[in-house]
Structure 1
Amino acid sequence: MDADAHLPPPQSLWIDTAPAPQRAQPRLPDDADIVVIGAGIAGLTTAYLLAREGRSVVVLDRKEVAAGVSGHTTAKLSAQHALKYRQLERSKGRTAATRYGETQHAALEWVAKTATELAIDCRLTRRDSYVYTTDPRQRDRITEEADAAARAGMPASFTEDIDLDVPAVAAVRFTGQAQFHPRRWLLGLAAEIERLGGTIAEHTAALAVDEWPTPRVRTSRGTVRAEHVVVATHYPILDRGLYFTRLDPVRDLVVCGPVPVDRAPSGMYLDAATSHSVRTYDTGEETLAVVGGEHYRTGAHVDVETRYRRLAEWAREHVGLTEVRYRWSAHDMSTPDSVPYVGRYHPFAKRLWVATGFGQWGMTGGTAAGLLLWHLIQGVTNPAEQLYYPNRLAPRTAPAVAKEGATIAKYLVGDHIRALATSWEASSLRPGDATVARVGPRMAAMYREPDGRLHAVGAHCTHQGCLVNFNNSEKTWDCPCHGSRFGIDGSVIQGPATRPLRRLDAEGPG
């Protein structure tokens, strides 16, 4: 496979190999004990646990079960989250590092146990996990991470030996971790929620949530009153709580395809410096490598197609990838202190809850969030509540928050100056090209398809008004400020935006 090899249209392995059942649109009930917004791993875990307690549950999703972030991941189930434990021990103390490890490990084991109990064939297999470095100068850091993780009670050790074709000089090894098929898992949970009497409402967008006097969720199909509302939309769709000032949106690319059996590594791997990620998936007929990397800020001015090709070439060289059969991108949100936000949506919230900020570790992070929210909503004391408290004050994170604010300001101001300086006639846009520019009195985002059809929409993100940028791989308009994503027709693909981009008049093929 060379750098000019064919890249297929973006498609997730997990979604392609686990099609969702054709659900009839259920009638939304007027009332429910719990409304969960978001049918990904955090939302469905929360919903299943509460439905199991006999609570009436409604799950809403703009698309389908596990068709969003949870269906676009490398699907590692591991308590090893890069070089996390050294950082946590230094910034929050050994108790916090231990608590974090315990919750992530418990999430892994809960998935394994529940998959067996519910007979969900999610292809869960145990694998050792490694974070490695190829830089001799980072050897001491790897040693310190192994020691910190061991002190946190994790099955961690230092090693120099990994079976990945890279010049690794040191690695942290976690034994007994796992990998699985995330969509098979979540479709199984969704079916169990329905069996327990819950409602799964796909293609139903949550538009707003009223907290007082009784929580109500306003949707594209009506309003549901609830005792509790859980917002598990990856990026919170409600601006209360100011999450848009405390989350960093990043996209990681993934390529996937067959590899020779003799080059397929046995574990799961992550480069501490480059974030190249490797695991394999056995289809029963062949071994596929799932390789991630080339992360960038959502909506940044980057050539995504070129990054995909670079990643494919790295996979060819180091894993033996013979062709790119699937490719997709993972959407990650990170917090300034690298600990997710799970709990009360804002300091005064009584019945509104949130789960977000899992970084690159949403499979255990989202599951741990569901386990914690289950306890909090049931009024059960959980010792991890303070660690994950969404409204925590952390003076040490102030520089990171300020940096994120400066980045947003750069895009908000710089992109407007760039676009205002350019005036375009729509007829000058060539097939396959896209631009954001001033067209008459308006700022327009325009894309002309290869067949000549022109799509023109308002260029201001409907969340906070930043200008969107074109993703030349997925053919989407992405916002660099807070990570909202829109189709070329302006439809919302990913929040926090809940309203589409305004359609503008477009000329016909030309």
Structure 2
Amino acid sequence: MIKRDGALPSLWQQTVNPLDISNTAPDTKYDVIIVGAGITGISLAHRLQSAGLQCLVLEAHSCCFGTTGGTTAHLNTLLDTPYTTIIKNFGEENAKLVAQGVKEAVHNIEKNIEKYQIACGFERTAAYLFAQDDDQQKELQDIVESCEKVSVPVHYTNTIPVNIPFIKAIEIPSQAKFSPVKYVYELAKAFIDAGGQLIEQTAVVTHAHRTDEVTSEEIIEVQTDTDLTYVTNALVYATHIPPGVNVLHLRCAPYRSYAMAVKLPLDNYPAELCYDMVDPYHYYRTQVIDGEPYFIAGGEDHKTGHEENTTACFNRLEAHVRKYFNVESITHKWSSQYYEPADGLPYIGELPGARPNVFVATGYGGNGMVYSQVATILLSDLILTGASAYKDVFDPNRVKPVAGFANFIKENADVVKNLVSGLVTRDQLESLSDLAHGDGKVVVFDKHKIALYKDPEGNLHVLNPTCTHLKCGVTWNAAELSWDCPCHGARYSIDGDVLNGPANMDLKKIDLKED
């Protein structure tokens, strides 16, 4: 089983074994370096390597450690941001391009599965969206009309495949589902077999442009936390959110979503995809893994770091599932992170504020599986030819610099000073925190905030709770045993190690004075 960025294992982690790779790469100039080995990074690397470029993928943890390992893997042409909103914000022609892009995205996955004979449970199936009150029914009617404008087939139906009351529903044909980690791992192997290089456990710290002394061309140096530097002509941040500080962090809101896999009576597994229209909405589907069916339900989304009791989110989701389904057992439950864009569409293209040949793909919302493939198609076109039909509609530079952004960064970075270690003793923290085993919280001691976690053995893990990205204060996530930043979504382990960007430095550990 592979590792993921949460304490709760997802259904997908058991489907593969860790990659058997050396974690070394030749010291040469690469055509493209891609940061991040999730579905976006591996898909793009594979496509570019297949086109004849020499690619290197650098992954801070392990392949599919992030959101790819926690997705529920719906492949949709009907998107979370409805085409009504996309038409309103971007115009009908651009909305048609979006619809065309996500249709091509699903086909891209299907084509790779056929080419490499990947046994990942891929299946074309219909999806159903259903309304449960008059307001939702009106919204559903608007969705149908907008789908017709952008040539996404939909039609009304009198039945849905789940036993949930509804007053109106639509069917969207030719959607799909699959086992995502199995797919990505097999595609990673195909990338390596084609001569591509993949290094895990290697985080990118920074990059810088310089002029090649031999060719006089501008190249990019990529510095890693292993003190190794790699050189490339083009750099892509496929890290779900770019690291460091960028205007995109003010345009992408981090969210957590909750999921569980359950066993139902044998003949009660719905084959299709289903969605209600509450806010936040619930989503349902079935996946067969090694001959075993699992019913997957998700929902209860909230902004990262803004929910005091994350365990309650699982409880609410479980109550919802048990209300409508005959649950025999719950086999897995987990949460994962995604980023909502400000205007409804992802930011895919040149990184705002960066020099040429630095690219980014972020802001996928809840449609990361299909937008990963849109990013693969768009970015490979830009890198190979300099042009793409999708360039303008997804252009990250549609986000204009915010007035005073540079001052904002400086002022925010000065908000909280580093806490000097050794200010407090272990006994003082014990009496101050009153923590149960397995619990964590932020406490105040002598005007300093301290992040405390007491592990099951009673040992204290003590950190400075100041996020290393832009100095916000982290909060405790009891469900996933992590420290989460409510500002831009950085997440850290109980020992302060970075789990999710945009932070690229760990939380500072505090060494306690002995009594």
One fold, TM greater than 0.5? yes
- C-alpha displacement at 1:83, in angstroms? 5.2
Which is worse superposed, 485-494 or 380-389? Answer: 380-389
Once residues 299 and 329 of structure 1 are traced to their aligned partners in structure 2, the CA distance between those partners, rounded to angstroms, is 13
Q: What does residue 15 of structure 2 align with?
A: 17
Q: For residue 111 of structure 1, report the CA deviation from its aligned partner.
A: 0.6
* Alignment correspondent of 1:417: none
**Per the alignment, in what secondary structure is the counterpart of residue 143 of structure 1?**
helix
How far is 1:68 from its partner?
1.1
Which amino acid in the other structure matches residue 499 of structure 1? M
Report how far residue 457 of structure 1 moved.
0.6
Q: Contact 2:136–2:277 at 8 Å: present in 1 too? A: no
What is residue 44 of structure 2 aligned with on the other side? 46
What is residue 195 of structure 2 aligned with on the other side?
A: 197
Matches within 5 A, 1:382-401: 382-393=388-399
Which residue of 54, 57, 69 corresponds with 1:56?
54
The 5-angstrom pairing of residues 2-401 of structure 1 reads 10-27=8-25, 29-82=27-80, 84-213=82-211, 214-221=219-226, 222-240=228-246, 242-273=247-278, 274-346=280-352, 349-393=355-399
Counterpart in 1 of 2:486? 480
Aligned ranges for residues 438-457 of structure 1 at < 5 Å? 438-440=444-446, 442-457=448-463
1:125-148 deviation digits (Å, cap 9, x = unpaired) = 111112222113321210120121
Counterpart residue type for residue 38 of structure 2: G
How many angstroms does 1:347 deviate by?
Answer: 5.5
Unpaired segments of 5 or more residues in structure 1? 1-7, 414-423
TM-fit CA distance, 1:74: 0.5
Query: For residue 421 of structure 2, what is the aligned residue in structure 1?
Result: none
CA distance in 2, matches of 1:130, 1:82: 13
Q: Which runs of 5+ in 2 are unaligned?
A: 1-5, 212-218, 417-426
Aligned to 2:505: 499
Q: How far apart, in 1, do the equivalents of 2:74 and 2:204 lie?
A: 29
The answer to whether the Cα contact below 8 Å between 2:244 and 2:469 also exists between their aligned partners in 1 is no
TM-superposed deviation, 1:171: 2.4
2:419 match: none
Contact between 2:121 and 2:287, CA under 8 Å: does it hold in 1?
A: no
CA apart distance, 1:491 = 0.5
Normalising by structure 1, we get a TM-score of 0.89
Task: Please give the per-residue CA displacement for 1:462-481, whole angstroms capped at 9, x wherever unaligned.
Answer: 00000000000111100000
Q: C-alpha deviations, 1:458-510, integer Å up to 9, x for none?
A: 110000000000000111100000000000101111110000001102478x9
Partner SS for 2:396: coil
Give the partner amino acid of 2:169. Answer: A
- 473-482 or 122-131: bigger deviation: 122-131
Shift of 1:216: 1.2
**CA offsets 1:272-308 (integer angstroms, 9 cap, x no match):** 2231110111235432111111111111142111111
The CA distance in 1 between the partners of 2:354 and 2:199, in whole Å, is 29
Asked whether the 8 Å contact 2:81–2:344 carries over to 1, the reply is no
Structure 1 residue 28 displacement after superposition = 5.1
Q: Does structure 1 residue 426 correspond to structure 2 residue 432?
A: no
CA shift in 2, pair 1:91/1:331, >3 Å: same
Output the CA distance in 2 between the equivalents of 1:489 and 1:64: 18
Change beyond 3 A, Cα 1:507–1:180: farther
Question: CA offsets, 1:370-389, max 9 Å, x none?
Answer: 11000001125322110000
Give 3-state SS (helix, strand or coil) of 2:298's partner: strand
Query: Relative to 1, partners in 2 of residues 1:481 and 1:9: Cα closer, same or farther, differing over 3 Å?
Result: closer
1:69-98 superposed Cα distances (whole Å, 9 cap, x missing partner): 111100011111135111112222211111
Letter in 2 for 1:47: A
Q: 1:317 to 1:489 in 2, by over 3 A?
A: same
CA distance in 2, matches of 1:43, 1:467: 30
Paired residues in the alignment total 480
Aligned-partner Cα distance in 2 for 1:301–1:174: 33
1:13-59 per-residue CA deviation (whole Å, 9 max, x = no partner) reads 11122222332222353421110000011111111111011111000
Deviation, structure 1 residue 165: 1.4
* Gap change, CA 1:130 and 1:82, over 3 Å in 2: farther
Q: Alignment identity in percent?
A: 27
Contact 1:454 1:506 in 2 (8 A): no
- Residue identity opposite 1:292 in structure 2: G
When residues 394 and 37 of structure 1 are mapped into structure 2, their CA distance, relative to the original with a 3 A threshold, is closer
Kindly provide the amino acid, as one letter, of the partner of residue 251 in structure 2.
R
CA distance in structure 2 between the aligned counterparts of 1:125 and 1:53, rounded to whole angstroms: 27
CA distance in structure 1 between the aligned counterparts of 2:430 and 2:363, rounded to whole angstroms? 42
Q: For the Cα contact (< 8 Å) 1:478–1:485, is it kept in 2?
A: yes
Relative to structure 2, which stretch is displaced further, 302-311 or 228-237?
302-311
Aligned CA-pair RMSD: 2.4
- TM-score, with structure 2 as normaliser: 0.89
Pair 1:130–1:394, CA change in 2 (3 A): farther
Amino acid aligned to 1:497: A
Q: Whole-Å Cα distance in 2 between the matches of residues 59 and 105 of structure 1?
A: 27
Q: In the alignment, residue 304 of structure 1 is paired with which amino acid?
A: T
Do 2:80 and 2:365's aligned partners in 1 also have CA atoms closer than 8 Å?
A: no
Question: For the structure 1 residues 373 and 9, does the alpha-carbon distance in structure 2 shift closer, same or farther, using more than 3 Å as the test?
Answer: closer
Inter-CA distance 218–225: structure 2 relative to 1 (3 Å threshold): same
**Cα distance in 1 between the residues matched to 2:75 and 2:139:** 24
**Contact 2:220/2:231, CA 8 A, preserved across alignment:** yes
Provide the C-alpha distance between the structure 1 equivalents of 2:436 and 2:333, rounded to a whole number of angstroms.
24
